[in-house]
Amino acid sequence: MPAEQTIEVALRWADVDANRHVNNVEFFRLLEEARARWFPTTGDGASLLTSGVVVARQGLDYSMPLTYRHEPVLVGLRVSRVGTSSFTLRCRIYDAVVDSDDRVYAAGTVVMVVVEEGPGRSRPFTVPERRWLESLVG
Amino acid sequence: MPAEQTIEVALRWADVDANRHVNNVEFFRLLEEARARWFPTTGDGASLLTSGVVVARQGLDYSMPLTYRHEPVLVGLRVSRVGTSSFTLRCRIYDAVVDSDDRVYAAGTVVMVVVEEGPGRSRPFTVPERRWLESLVG
Amino acid sequence: MPAEQTIEVALRWADVDANRHVNNVEFFRLLEEARARWFPTTGDGASLLTSGVVVARQGLDYSMPLTYRHEPVLVGLRVSRVGTSSFTLRCRIYDAVVDSDDRVYAAGTVVMVVVEEGPGRSRPFTVPERRWLESLVG
Amino acid sequence: MPAEQTIEVALRWADVDANRHVNNVEFFRLLEEARARWFPTTGDGASLLTSGVVVARQGLDYSMPLTYRHEPVLVGLRVSRVGTSSFTLRCRIYDAVVDSDDRVYAAGTVVMVVVEEGPGRSRPFTVPERRWLESLVG
Protein backbone atom coordinates (compact mmCIF):
# COMPACT_ATOMS: atom_id res chain seq x y z
CA MET A 1 0.00 0.00 0.00
CA PRO A 2 1.53 3.33 -1.02
CA ALA A 3 2.14 5.74 1.78
CA GLU A 4 0.36 9.07 1.94
CA GLN A 5 2.11 11.63 -0.24
CA THR A 6 3.14 14.78 1.54
CA ILE A 7 3.47 18.27 0.08
CA GLU A 8 4.92 21.27 1.90
CA VAL A 9 2.80 24.40 1.55
CA ALA A 10 4.00 27.79 2.80
CA LEU A 11 1.62 29.80 4.95
CA ARG A 12 1.02 33.49 4.37
CA TRP A 13 0.47 36.12 6.97
CA ALA A 14 -2.70 36.98 5.05
CA ASP A 15 -4.13 33.51 5.76
CA VAL A 16 -4.74 34.70 9.30
CA ASP A 17 -8.04 36.38 10.06
CA ALA A 18 -9.22 38.79 12.75
CA ASN A 19 -9.09 35.90 15.25
CA ARG A 20 -5.33 35.57 14.60
CA HIS A 21 -5.59 31.97 13.41
CA VAL A 22 -5.35 30.66 9.87
CA ASN A 23 -8.88 31.21 8.59
CA ASN A 24 -11.02 28.11 8.11
CA VAL A 25 -11.59 28.93 4.43
CA GLU A 26 -7.84 29.17 3.81
CA PHE A 27 -7.46 25.50 4.77
CA PHE A 28 -9.21 24.65 1.51
CA ARG A 29 -6.76 27.01 -0.21
CA LEU A 30 -3.88 25.02 1.30
CA LEU A 31 -5.43 21.82 -0.10
CA GLU A 32 -5.77 23.46 -3.52
CA GLU A 33 -2.14 24.51 -3.47
CA ALA A 34 -1.01 21.06 -2.39
CA ARG A 35 -2.90 19.52 -5.32
CA ALA A 36 -1.36 22.07 -7.71
CA ARG A 37 2.04 20.75 -6.62
CA TRP A 38 0.99 17.09 -6.50
CA PHE A 39 -0.50 16.51 -9.95
CA PRO A 40 2.22 15.27 -12.29
CA THR A 41 3.27 17.35 -15.30
CA THR A 42 4.79 14.37 -17.12
CA GLY A 43 3.90 10.70 -17.37
CA ASP A 44 0.68 8.75 -16.97
CA GLY A 45 -1.26 11.29 -14.89
CA ALA A 46 -0.20 14.46 -16.72
CA SER A 47 -3.29 14.67 -18.93
CA LEU A 48 -5.45 15.23 -15.83
CA LEU A 49 -4.15 18.76 -15.34
CA THR A 50 -4.09 19.70 -19.03
CA SER A 51 -7.61 18.38 -19.58
CA GLY A 52 -8.94 19.75 -16.32
CA VAL A 53 -10.02 18.45 -12.92
CA VAL A 54 -12.72 20.14 -10.89
CA VAL A 55 -13.81 19.76 -7.28
CA ALA A 56 -17.21 18.08 -7.03
CA ARG A 57 -17.40 17.86 -3.24
CA GLN A 58 -15.11 18.65 -0.32
CA GLY A 59 -15.21 18.87 3.43
CA LEU A 60 -12.91 19.34 6.40
CA ASP A 61 -12.98 18.68 10.13
CA TYR A 62 -10.94 21.22 12.08
CA SER A 63 -9.21 19.89 15.18
CA MET A 64 -6.71 22.53 16.28
CA PRO A 65 -6.01 26.21 15.53
CA LEU A 66 -3.08 26.90 13.23
CA THR A 67 -1.08 30.10 13.68
CA TYR A 68 1.16 31.83 11.16
CA ARG A 69 4.82 30.87 11.11
CA HIS A 70 7.54 31.00 8.48
CA GLU A 71 7.81 27.21 8.20
CA PRO A 72 5.50 25.46 5.77
CA VAL A 73 2.72 23.19 6.89
CA LEU A 74 2.44 19.64 5.55
CA VAL A 75 -0.49 18.51 3.44
CA GLY A 76 -0.95 14.75 3.24
CA LEU A 77 -2.87 13.35 0.25
CA ARG A 78 -3.98 9.74 -0.23
CA VAL A 79 -6.14 8.48 -3.11
CA SER A 80 -8.88 6.44 -1.44
CA ARG A 81 -11.17 5.66 -4.38
CA VAL A 82 -10.96 5.68 -8.19
CA GLY A 83 -14.27 5.73 -10.07
CA THR A 84 -15.11 6.05 -13.76
CA SER A 85 -14.50 9.78 -14.01
CA SER A 86 -13.92 10.83 -10.40
CA PHE A 87 -11.60 10.02 -7.54
CA THR A 88 -11.51 10.73 -3.82
CA LEU A 89 -8.57 12.24 -1.95
CA ARG A 90 -8.18 11.83 1.79
CA CYS A 91 -6.41 14.98 3.00
CA ARG A 92 -4.89 16.24 6.19
CA ILE A 93 -3.07 19.42 7.13
CA TYR A 94 -0.52 18.65 9.79
CA ASP A 95 2.90 18.97 11.35
CA ALA A 96 5.07 15.88 11.56
CA VAL A 97 6.10 15.10 15.12
CA VAL A 98 9.01 12.75 15.75
CA ASP A 99 8.30 9.82 18.08
CA SER A 100 4.72 10.83 18.65
CA ASP A 101 1.41 11.32 16.85
CA ASP A 102 1.42 14.02 14.20
CA ARG A 103 -0.27 17.28 15.07
CA VAL A 104 -3.28 17.40 12.74
CA TYR A 105 -4.96 20.77 12.24
CA ALA A 106 -7.67 19.58 9.86
CA ALA A 107 -8.58 16.47 7.89
CA GLY A 108 -11.18 15.62 5.29
CA THR A 109 -11.90 14.53 1.75
CA VAL A 110 -12.04 16.04 -1.72
CA VAL A 111 -13.86 14.41 -4.65
CA MET A 112 -12.44 15.46 -8.02
CA VAL A 113 -13.87 14.91 -11.50
CA VAL A 114 -11.92 14.95 -14.74
CA VAL A 115 -13.49 17.14 -17.43
CA GLU A 116 -13.02 17.61 -21.14
CA GLU A 117 -11.04 20.62 -22.22
CA GLY A 118 -13.38 23.36 -23.33
CA PRO A 119 -16.96 22.31 -22.57
CA GLY A 120 -16.15 21.17 -19.05
CA ARG A 121 -18.23 17.97 -19.16
CA SER A 122 -16.96 14.99 -17.18
CA ARG A 123 -15.31 12.22 -19.18
CA PRO A 124 -13.99 8.75 -18.23
CA PHE A 125 -10.36 8.48 -17.13
CA THR A 126 -7.98 7.30 -19.83
CA VAL A 127 -6.09 4.08 -19.21
CA PRO A 128 -2.85 5.89 -18.23
CA GLU A 129 -4.74 8.26 -15.92
CA ARG A 130 -6.40 5.33 -14.20
CA ARG A 131 -3.04 3.53 -13.96
CA TRP A 132 -1.52 6.57 -12.25
CA LEU A 133 -4.43 7.03 -9.84
CA GLU A 134 -4.60 3.35 -8.93
CA SER A 135 -0.87 3.27 -8.26
CA LEU A 136 -1.55 5.75 -5.47
CA VAL A 137 -4.54 4.13 -3.82
CA GLY A 138 -3.68 3.64 -0.17
CA MET B 1 -41.29 25.71 10.89
CA PRO B 2 -39.24 28.81 10.06
CA ALA B 3 -38.28 29.23 6.45
CA GLU B 4 -34.66 29.23 5.37
CA GLN B 5 -33.13 32.65 5.87
CA THR B 6 -31.60 34.17 2.77
CA ILE B 7 -28.70 36.61 2.58
CA GLU B 8 -27.53 38.38 -0.56
CA VAL B 9 -23.76 38.25 -1.05
CA ALA B 10 -22.01 40.21 -3.81
CA LEU B 11 -19.56 38.35 -5.99
CA ARG B 12 -16.16 39.77 -6.84
CA TRP B 13 -14.34 39.46 -10.11
CA ALA B 14 -11.44 38.11 -8.05
CA ASP B 15 -13.55 35.12 -6.94
CA VAL B 16 -13.05 33.73 -10.42
CA ASP B 17 -10.01 31.56 -11.05
CA ALA B 18 -8.03 30.61 -14.15
CA ASN B 19 -10.97 28.40 -15.22
CA ARG B 20 -13.21 31.51 -15.35
CA HIS B 21 -15.65 30.16 -12.77
CA VAL B 22 -16.03 31.18 -9.15
CA ASN B 23 -13.32 29.15 -7.46
CA ASN B 24 -14.47 26.25 -5.29
CA VAL B 25 -12.69 27.67 -2.24
CA GLU B 26 -14.48 31.00 -2.63
CA PHE B 27 -17.81 29.26 -2.08
CA PHE B 28 -16.79 28.81 1.55
CA ARG B 29 -15.91 32.52 1.58
CA LEU B 30 -19.44 33.30 0.40
CA LEU B 31 -20.79 31.20 3.28
CA GLU B 32 -18.54 33.05 5.73
CA GLU B 33 -19.77 36.40 4.45
CA ALA B 34 -23.38 35.29 4.64
CA ARG B 35 -22.89 34.29 8.28
CA ALA B 36 -21.19 37.63 9.02
CA ARG B 37 -24.40 39.31 7.84
CA TRP B 38 -26.76 36.76 9.44
CA PHE B 39 -25.60 36.71 13.07
CA PRO B 40 -27.61 39.28 15.02
CA THR B 41 -25.89 42.26 16.61
CA THR B 42 -28.71 42.86 19.11
CA GLY B 43 -31.08 40.60 21.01
CA ASP B 44 -30.91 37.00 22.14
CA GLY B 45 -28.26 35.77 19.72
CA ALA B 46 -25.93 38.77 19.81
CA SER B 47 -23.54 37.30 22.38
CA LEU B 48 -22.55 34.59 19.90
CA LEU B 49 -20.57 37.01 17.75
CA THR B 50 -19.06 38.99 20.62
CA SER B 51 -18.00 35.82 22.44
CA GLY B 52 -16.88 34.06 19.27
CA VAL B 53 -18.05 31.23 17.03
CA VAL B 54 -15.64 29.01 15.15
CA VAL B 55 -16.12 26.52 12.35
CA ALA B 56 -15.60 22.93 13.54
CA ARG B 57 -16.51 21.17 10.31
CA GLN B 58 -17.82 22.16 6.91
CA GLY B 59 -18.43 20.66 3.51
CA LEU B 60 -20.01 21.49 0.20
CA ASP B 61 -21.32 19.62 -2.84
CA TYR B 62 -20.89 21.59 -6.05
CA SER B 63 -23.61 21.12 -8.65
CA MET B 64 -23.16 23.85 -11.25
CA PRO B 65 -20.46 26.37 -12.23
CA LEU B 66 -21.05 29.95 -11.11
CA THR B 67 -19.75 32.78 -13.25
CA TYR B 68 -19.08 36.37 -12.21
CA ARG B 69 -21.89 38.88 -12.61
CA HIS B 70 -22.74 42.16 -10.93
CA GLU B 71 -25.84 40.80 -9.21
CA PRO B 72 -25.38 39.15 -5.82
CA VAL B 73 -25.87 35.46 -5.28
CA LEU B 74 -28.24 34.18 -2.59
CA VAL B 75 -27.01 32.21 0.39
CA GLY B 76 -29.69 30.22 2.19
CA LEU B 77 -29.06 29.27 5.83
CA ARG B 78 -31.19 26.95 7.96
CA VAL B 79 -30.34 25.83 11.50
CA SER B 80 -30.79 22.07 11.46
CA ARG B 81 -29.47 21.09 14.90
CA VAL B 82 -28.73 22.82 18.22
CA GLY B 83 -26.41 20.96 20.59
CA THR B 84 -24.85 21.95 23.91
CA SER B 85 -22.18 24.21 22.49
CA SER B 86 -22.48 23.68 18.74
CA PHE B 87 -25.07 23.98 16.02
CA THR B 88 -25.38 22.87 12.42
CA LEU B 89 -26.25 25.13 9.50
CA ARG B 90 -27.63 23.74 6.26
CA CYS B 91 -26.38 26.07 3.54
CA ARG B 92 -26.95 26.55 -0.15
CA ILE B 93 -25.67 29.06 -2.69
CA TYR B 94 -28.30 29.66 -5.30
CA ASP B 95 -30.33 31.90 -7.57
CA ALA B 96 -34.04 32.14 -6.97
CA VAL B 97 -36.03 31.19 -10.07
CA VAL B 98 -39.69 32.19 -10.31
CA ASP B 99 -42.18 29.35 -11.03
CA SER B 100 -39.45 26.72 -11.15
CA ASP B 101 -36.80 25.04 -9.03
CA ASP B 102 -34.06 27.33 -7.75
CA ARG B 103 -30.70 27.10 -9.48
CA VAL B 104 -28.39 25.71 -6.80
CA TYR B 105 -24.65 26.09 -7.35
CA ALA B 106 -23.54 24.37 -4.15
CA ALA B 107 -25.07 23.02 -0.94
CA GLY B 108 -23.69 21.64 2.29
CA THR B 109 -23.37 22.02 6.03
CA VAL B 110 -21.32 23.99 8.53
CA VAL B 111 -20.94 23.01 12.19
CA MET B 112 -20.15 25.98 14.44
CA VAL B 113 -19.00 26.01 18.06
CA VAL B 114 -19.37 28.87 20.49
CA VAL B 115 -16.14 29.70 22.32
CA GLU B 116 -15.21 31.80 25.32
CA GLU B 117 -13.66 35.17 24.60
CA GLY B 118 -9.93 34.96 24.99
CA PRO B 119 -8.90 31.35 25.54
CA GLY B 120 -11.07 30.06 22.72
CA ARG B 121 -12.42 27.02 24.59
CA SER B 122 -15.94 25.89 23.74
CA ARG B 123 -18.66 26.75 26.29
CA PRO B 124 -22.36 25.85 26.54
CA PHE B 125 -24.86 28.16 24.86
CA THR B 126 -26.55 30.63 27.21
CA VAL B 127 -30.32 30.42 27.54
CA PRO B 128 -30.93 33.41 25.22
CA GLU B 129 -28.48 32.07 22.63
CA ARG B 130 -30.28 28.72 22.65
CA ARG B 131 -33.63 30.49 22.42
CA TRP B 132 -32.47 32.37 19.35
CA LEU B 133 -30.99 29.30 17.66
CA GLU B 134 -34.02 27.12 18.38
CA SER B 135 -36.36 29.79 16.99
CA LEU B 136 -34.61 29.22 13.67
CA VAL B 137 -34.59 25.43 13.52
CA GLY B 138 -36.26 24.41 10.27
CA MET C 1 -16.45 68.54 -16.68
CA PRO C 2 -17.95 65.15 -15.80
CA ALA C 3 -18.25 64.39 -12.14
CA GLU C 4 -16.37 61.51 -10.60
CA GLN C 5 -18.24 58.26 -11.12
CA THR C 6 -19.04 56.35 -7.98
CA ILE C 7 -19.42 52.60 -7.57
CA GLU C 8 -20.63 50.86 -4.42
CA VAL C 9 -18.49 47.90 -3.42
CA ALA C 10 -19.50 45.54 -0.62
CA LEU C 11 -16.90 44.75 2.01
CA ARG C 12 -16.27 41.22 3.20
CA TRP C 13 -15.43 40.14 6.69
CA ALA C 14 -12.43 38.38 5.14
CA ASP C 15 -11.02 41.74 3.99
CA VAL C 16 -10.06 42.38 7.60
CA ASP C 17 -6.67 41.19 8.78
CA ALA C 18 -5.21 40.32 12.17
CA ASN C 19 -5.19 44.05 13.00
CA ARG C 20 -8.99 44.11 12.61
CA HIS C 21 -8.91 46.71 9.83
CA VAL C 22 -9.49 46.19 6.12
CA ASN C 23 -6.08 45.01 4.95
CA ASN C 24 -4.06 47.46 2.84
CA VAL C 25 -3.81 44.97 -0.03
CA GLU C 26 -7.59 44.56 -0.11
CA PHE C 27 -7.96 48.24 -0.99
CA PHE C 28 -6.52 47.40 -4.41
CA ARG C 29 -9.05 44.57 -4.57
CA LEU C 30 -11.82 47.08 -3.93
CA LEU C 31 -10.49 49.20 -6.82
CA GLU C 32 -10.42 46.13 -9.07
CA GLU C 33 -14.00 45.29 -8.20
CA ALA C 34 -15.11 48.88 -8.80
CA ARG C 35 -13.51 48.80 -12.26
CA ALA C 36 -15.19 45.44 -13.02
CA ARG C 37 -18.53 47.18 -12.37
CA TRP C 38 -17.54 50.44 -14.10
CA PHE C 39 -16.37 49.26 -17.53
CA PRO C 40 -19.34 49.31 -19.91
CA THR C 41 -20.63 46.07 -21.46
CA THR C 42 -22.34 47.84 -24.33
CA GLY C 43 -21.57 50.96 -26.38
CA ASP C 44 -18.38 52.78 -27.24
CA GLY C 45 -16.21 51.49 -24.40
CA ALA C 46 -17.35 47.87 -24.39
CA SER C 47 -14.47 46.57 -26.50
CA LEU C 48 -12.03 47.49 -23.72
CA LEU C 49 -13.20 44.64 -21.49
CA THR C 50 -13.58 42.07 -24.27
CA SER C 51 -10.14 42.88 -25.69
CA GLY C 52 -8.49 43.21 -22.30
CA VAL C 53 -7.14 45.94 -20.04
CA VAL C 54 -4.22 45.38 -17.69
CA VAL C 55 -2.83 47.40 -14.82
CA ALA C 56 0.54 48.94 -15.70
CA ARG C 57 1.03 50.93 -12.51
CA GLN C 58 -0.95 51.66 -9.36
CA GLY C 59 -0.52 53.26 -6.00
CA LEU C 60 -2.53 54.31 -2.97
CA ASP C 61 -2.15 56.66 -0.03
CA TYR C 62 -3.94 55.41 3.07
CA SER C 63 -5.42 58.07 5.32
CA MET C 64 -7.77 56.34 7.73
CA PRO C 65 -8.45 52.77 8.90
CA LEU C 66 -11.56 51.13 7.46
CA THR C 67 -13.43 48.59 9.56
CA TYR C 68 -15.84 45.91 8.38
CA ARG C 69 -19.51 46.82 8.19
CA HIS C 70 -22.45 45.50 6.20
CA GLU C 71 -22.85 48.70 4.18
CA PRO C 72 -20.78 49.05 1.01
CA VAL C 73 -17.95 51.51 0.67
CA LEU C 74 -17.89 53.99 -2.22
CA VAL C 75 -15.18 53.90 -4.86
CA GLY C 76 -14.81 57.10 -6.88
CA LEU C 77 -13.21 56.86 -10.32
CA ARG C 78 -12.22 59.77 -12.55
CA VAL C 79 -10.36 59.48 -15.86
CA SER C 80 -7.54 62.00 -15.62
CA ARG C 81 -5.54 61.22 -18.78
CA VAL C 82 -6.08 59.39 -22.07
CA GLY C 83 -2.94 58.40 -23.99
CA THR C 84 -2.43 56.32 -27.12
CA SER C 85 -2.95 52.95 -25.50
CA SER C 86 -3.20 53.76 -21.80
CA PHE C 87 -5.29 55.89 -19.49
CA THR C 88 -5.04 57.04 -15.89
CA LEU C 89 -7.76 56.67 -13.28
CA ARG C 90 -7.84 58.83 -10.15
CA CYS C 91 -9.40 56.66 -7.45
CA ARG C 92 -10.61 57.10 -3.92
CA ILE C 93 -12.27 54.80 -1.43
CA TYR C 94 -14.58 56.79 0.77
CA ASP C 95 -17.86 57.34 2.59
CA ALA C 96 -20.05 60.21 1.48
CA VAL C 97 -20.81 62.59 4.34
CA VAL C 98 -23.72 65.03 4.04
CA ASP C 99 -22.87 68.73 4.65
CA SER C 100 -19.21 68.00 5.29
CA ASP C 101 -16.08 66.64 3.66
CA ASP C 102 -16.24 63.01 2.59
CA ARG C 103 -14.41 60.52 4.75
CA VAL C 104 -11.61 59.24 2.51
CA TYR C 105 -9.89 56.00 3.53
CA ALA C 106 -7.45 55.86 0.63
CA ALA C 107 -6.78 57.64 -2.66
CA GLY C 108 -4.44 57.10 -5.58
CA THR C 109 -4.07 56.34 -9.25
CA VAL C 110 -4.20 53.36 -11.58
CA VAL C 111 -2.69 53.36 -15.07
CA MET C 112 -4.36 50.87 -17.39
CA VAL C 113 -3.27 49.63 -20.81
CA VAL C 114 -5.50 48.11 -23.46
CA VAL C 115 -4.12 44.88 -24.90
CA GLU C 116 -4.92 42.69 -27.87
CA GLU C 117 -6.89 39.54 -27.23
CA GLY C 118 -4.57 36.59 -27.10
CA PRO C 119 -0.98 37.80 -27.21
CA GLY C 120 -1.52 40.52 -24.65
CA ARG C 121 0.48 43.21 -26.45
CA SER C 122 -0.70 46.79 -26.03
CA ARG C 123 -2.57 48.31 -28.96
CA PRO C 124 -3.88 51.86 -29.65
CA PHE C 125 -7.40 52.70 -28.49
CA THR C 126 -10.05 52.48 -31.22
CA VAL C 127 -11.94 55.67 -32.04
CA PRO C 128 -15.05 54.63 -30.06
CA GLU C 129 -12.92 53.57 -27.07
CA ARG C 130 -11.20 56.95 -27.11
CA ARG C 131 -14.55 58.70 -27.44
CA TRP C 132 -15.84 56.90 -24.36
CA LEU C 133 -12.72 57.56 -22.28
CA GLU C 134 -12.54 61.24 -23.25
CA SER C 135 -16.21 61.71 -22.37
CA LEU C 136 -15.21 60.83 -18.82
CA VAL C 137 -12.13 62.99 -18.41
CA GLY C 138 -12.66 65.22 -15.40
CA MET D 1 26.20 50.21 1.43
CA PRO D 2 24.18 47.15 2.40
CA ALA D 3 22.94 45.08 -0.46
CA GLU D 4 19.26 44.65 -1.08
CA GLN D 5 17.84 41.92 1.13
CA THR D 6 16.10 39.13 -0.72
CA ILE D 7 13.24 36.97 0.53
CA GLU D 8 11.82 33.95 -1.29
CA VAL D 9 8.04 33.90 -1.44
CA ALA D 10 6.11 30.91 -2.76
CA LEU D 11 3.42 31.54 -5.34
CA ARG D 12 0.01 29.97 -5.11
CA TRP D 13 -2.12 28.74 -7.96
CA ALA D 14 -4.85 30.97 -6.54
CA ASP D 15 -2.71 34.06 -7.20
CA VAL D 16 -3.55 33.65 -10.85
CA ASP D 17 -6.68 35.33 -12.17
CA ALA D 18 -8.94 34.73 -15.16
CA ASN D 19 -6.17 36.09 -17.41
CA ARG D 20 -3.86 33.24 -16.24
CA HIS D 21 -1.24 35.62 -14.83
CA VAL D 22 -0.52 36.42 -11.21
CA ASN D 23 -3.12 39.08 -10.46
CA ASN D 24 -1.84 42.64 -10.04
CA VAL D 25 -3.31 42.88 -6.54
CA GLU D 26 -1.51 39.72 -5.45
CA PHE D 27 1.83 41.43 -6.09
CA PHE D 28 1.11 43.59 -3.03
CA ARG D 29 0.32 40.38 -1.18
CA LEU D 30 3.74 39.04 -2.14
CA LEU D 31 5.31 42.23 -0.74
CA GLU D 32 3.33 41.82 2.47
CA GLU D 33 4.50 38.23 2.84
CA ALA D 34 8.11 39.22 2.17
CA ARG D 35 7.90 41.84 4.92
CA ALA D 36 6.35 39.31 7.32
CA ARG D 37 9.47 37.19 6.80
CA TRP D 38 11.90 40.13 6.78
CA PHE D 39 11.07 41.93 10.04
CA PRO D 40 13.30 40.56 12.81
CA THR D 41 11.78 38.73 15.76
CA THR D 42 14.82 39.32 17.98
CA GLY D 43 17.30 42.17 18.34
CA ASP D 44 17.14 45.88 17.65
CA GLY D 45 14.25 45.87 15.18
CA ALA D 46 12.03 43.32 16.88
CA SER D 47 9.84 45.89 18.64
CA LEU D 48 8.57 47.11 15.26
CA LEU D 49 6.47 44.02 14.71
CA THR D 50 5.25 43.68 18.29
CA SER D 51 4.29 47.35 18.46
CA GLY D 52 2.87 47.42 14.96
CA VAL D 53 3.76 48.81 11.55
CA VAL D 54 1.15 49.91 9.05
CA VAL D 55 1.34 50.77 5.38
CA ALA D 56 0.85 54.49 4.76
CA ARG D 57 1.43 54.49 1.03
CA GLN D 58 2.46 51.96 -1.61
CA GLY D 59 2.72 51.65 -5.34
CA LEU D 60 4.03 49.31 -8.00
CA ASP D 61 5.02 49.47 -11.66
CA TYR D 62 4.37 46.22 -13.49
CA SER D 63 6.84 45.34 -16.22
CA MET D 64 6.23 41.71 -17.16
CA PRO D 65 3.51 39.09 -16.59
CA LEU D 66 4.26 36.46 -13.95
CA THR D 67 2.84 32.97 -14.36
CA TYR D 68 2.35 30.33 -11.69
CA ARG D 69 5.17 27.87 -11.08
CA HIS D 70 6.24 25.77 -8.12
CA GLU D 71 9.47 27.72 -7.53
CA PRO D 72 9.27 30.80 -5.32
CA VAL D 73 9.70 34.30 -6.64
CA LEU D 74 12.28 36.65 -5.11
CA VAL D 75 11.27 39.82 -3.32
CA GLY D 76 14.06 42.39 -2.93
CA LEU D 77 13.72 44.95 -0.14
CA ARG D 78 15.97 47.96 0.43
CA VAL D 79 15.42 50.65 3.08
CA SER D 80 15.77 53.93 1.20
CA ARG D 81 14.72 56.45 3.88
CA VAL D 82 14.32 56.54 7.66
CA GLY D 83 12.18 59.35 9.07
CA THR D 84 10.94 60.09 12.57
CA SER D 85 8.19 57.50 12.63
CA SER D 86 8.16 56.18 9.07
CA PHE D 87 10.50 54.55 6.60
CA THR D 88 10.47 53.80 2.90
CA LEU D 89 11.14 50.39 1.34
CA ARG D 90 12.19 50.05 -2.28
CA CYS D 91 10.77 46.72 -3.45
CA ARG D 92 11.03 44.52 -6.50
CA ILE D 93 9.59 41.16 -7.40
CA TYR D 94 11.99 39.32 -9.63
CA ASP D 95 13.87 36.23 -10.72
CA ALA D 96 17.62 36.20 -10.43
CA VAL D 97 19.33 35.52 -13.76
CA VAL D 98 22.96 34.44 -13.82
CA ASP D 99 25.28 36.52 -16.04
CA SER D 100 22.50 38.83 -17.13
CA ASP D 101 20.01 41.39 -15.85
CA ASP D 102 17.46 40.05 -13.40
CA ARG D 103 13.96 39.52 -14.72
CA VAL D 104 11.87 42.08 -12.83
CA TYR D 105 8.09 41.57 -12.82
CA ALA D 106 7.24 44.63 -10.73
CA ALA D 107 9.01 47.31 -8.69
CA GLY D 108 7.90 50.10 -6.41
CA THR D 109 7.90 51.55 -2.92
CA VAL D 110 6.12 51.04 0.39
CA VAL D 111 6.05 53.67 3.14
CA MET D 112 5.52 52.16 6.59
CA VAL D 113 4.69 53.86 9.87
CA VAL D 114 5.32 52.50 13.34
CA VAL D 115 2.28 52.70 15.62
CA GLU D 116 1.67 52.30 19.32
CA GLU D 117 0.15 49.05 20.43
CA GLY D 118 -3.56 49.47 20.96
CA PRO D 119 -4.58 52.95 19.85
CA GLY D 120 -2.72 52.71 16.57
CA ARG D 121 -1.29 56.25 16.61
CA SER D 122 2.12 56.76 15.06
CA ARG D 123 5.06 57.14 17.46
CA PRO D 124 8.76 57.96 16.94
CA PHE D 125 11.16 55.09 16.36
CA THR D 126 13.09 53.99 19.44
CA VAL D 127 16.88 54.25 19.31
CA PRO D 128 17.35 50.50 18.64
CA GLU D 129 14.66 50.51 15.97
CA ARG D 130 16.36 53.41 14.23
CA ARG D 131 19.73 51.68 14.56
CA TRP D 132 18.34 48.58 12.86
CA LEU D 133 16.66 50.53 10.06
CA GLU D 134 19.69 52.71 9.39
CA SER D 135 21.94 49.65 9.23
CA LEU D 136 19.90 48.60 6.22
CA VAL D 137 19.78 51.85 4.30
CA GLY D 138 21.13 51.21 0.85
- Looking at this predicted complex, what is its ipTM? 0.95
| Burial category of C67 from C-beta neighbours within 10 Å (exposed 0-12, middle 13-18, buried 19 and up) | exposed
Residue D3 has pLDDT above 90, yes or no: no
Q: Which residues in chain C are contacts of D57 at CB distance < 8 A?
A: 59-62
**Residue B119: band (very low, low, confident or very high) from pLDDT cuts 50, 70, 90:** low
Residue B110 has pLDDT above 90, yes or no: yes
Please tell me the least confidently modeled range out of A22-26, C107-111, C132-136.
C132-136
Q: How many CB pairs under 8 A join A and C?
A: 18
- Partners of chain C (3+ Cβ pairs below 8 A): A, B, D
Residue A2 has pLDDT above 70, yes or no: no
Q: What is the CATH number of domain C5-135?
A: 3.10.129.10
D27: closest CA of chain C, how far (Å): 9
Residue C137 has pLDDT above 80, yes or no: yes
pLDDT of residue C99: 86
Residue B61 has pLDDT above 60, yes or no: yes
B70 and chain C: CB distance < 8 Å anywhere? yes
Q: Which residues in chain C are contacts of B32 at CB distance < 8 A?
A: 12-14
Residue C111 has pLDDT above 60, yes or no: yes
Nearest CA in chain D to C56: D62
Q: Are C47 and C124 in contact, with CB atoms under 8 Å apart?
A: no
Span D107-127, pLDDT tens digits: 999 999 999 877 679 999 999
Q: Are A125 and A84 in contact, with CB atoms under 8 Å apart?
A: yes
SS (H, E, C) D34-66: HHHHHCCCCCCCHHHHHHCEEEEEEEEEECCCC
Q: Are A93 and A73 in contact, with CB atoms under 8 Å apart?
A: yes
Q: Are D132 and D40 in contact, with CB atoms under 8 Å apart?
A: yes
How far is it, in rounded angstroms, from Cα C31 to Cα D67?
22
| Cβ–Cβ gap B25/D16 under 8 Å | no
| Cβ–Cβ gap A16/C14 under 8 Å | no
pLDDT of residue C33: 98
Instruction: Choose, out of A28, A33, A38, the residue to mutate when testing the contact with D (most D CBs < 10 Å).
Output: A33
DSSP 8-state code for residue C50: H
D61 and chain C: CB distance < 8 Å anywhere? yes
How far is it, in rounded angstroms, from Cα C14 to Cα B16?
16
Per-chain mean pLDDT for chain B: 94
The domain segmentation of chain D, as residue ranges, is: 5-135
Span B41-50, pLDDT tens digits: 999 999 998 8
Span A89-131, pLDDT tens digits: 999 999 999 888 999 999 999 999 999 877 679 999 999 999 9
D96 and chain B: CB distance < 8 Å anywhere? no
C34: closest CA of chain B, how far (Å): 9
Residue B98 has pLDDT above 70, yes or no: yes
Beta bridge partners of D79: D89, D137
